[in-house]
Amino acid sequence: MKQPSAAEALAGALSAEYAAIYAYGRIGVRLTGAARDAARQAEAAHRRRRDALVVQLSTSGGTVPPDRAGYALPFPVTDRASALRLAVEVEERTAAHWRAALASTTGADRDQALAALVEYAVRATRWRKTAGVTPPTVAFPGRPT
């Protein structure tokens, strides 16, 4: 398999961040209390990374993939349980994109990709704990299964 360039890998991560932000819009309204606050914080983290990626890709002359009006969710979000399940899925998927960027990057860009992978993996674990999923961890966060 051909190694994507750093710009291609980061564009993939940006598309994943767009989808994550969209998904959290659907997730947040199904949650209450502390879980709702956690969803808001998670969404803010994905927005920060989206904004940073747009700047980074624009200034480096890379292609900035456009956001879309909507994204297909893997399953309908109808209640708290499905919202938490989707939150886990969103974090694992975005983690996978940043994990894929590790091989294409070096130095500060790789540090940034690893920080995102770690942060999203930890958040996926927190969502599993909130949902009562055991074990709350996976052996290889972000690795395609």
Q: How far is the CB of 45 from another protein (least distance, A)?
A: 15
Cα Rg, the chain, nearest whole Å: 15
Question: Locate tokens 């709350």: which residue?
Answer: 136
Distance in angstroms (rounded) separating the CA atoms of residues 44 and 111: 20
> In angstroms, what CA-CA distances link 94 with 57, 124, 145?
18, 10, 14
Give residues 66-95 in contact with another protein (rule: CB under 8 A).
95
Shortest reach from residue 103's CB to another protein, in Å:
4
State which of positions 112-141 bind another protein (CB under 8 A). Answer: 113-114, 117-118, 121-122, 124-126, 129, 134-141
Of residues 19 and 124, the one with the C-beta less far from another protein: 124
Residues 6+ apart with CB under 8 A from 117: 95, 98, 99, 102, 141, 142
The phi-psi region of residue 142 (left if phi > 0; otherwise alpha if psi is between -120 and 50; otherwise beta) is: left
Q: For another protein, which residue of 100, 131, 132, 145 counts as binding (CB under 8 A)?
A: 100
Query: For another protein, which residue of 15, 94, 104, 130 counts as binding (CB under 8 A)?
Result: 104
Size of the chain, expressed as the number of residues it contains: 145
Count interface residues toward another protein (CB under 8 A): 29
* Residue number, 54 or 138, with CB nearest to another protein: 138
Q: Is 4 in the site for another protein (CB under 8 A)?
A: no
Neighbours of 117 (CB within 10 A): 22
Chain contacts with another protein (rule: CB under 8 A): 3, 95, 99-100, 102-104, 110-111, 113-114, 117-118, 121-122, 124-126, 129, 134-143
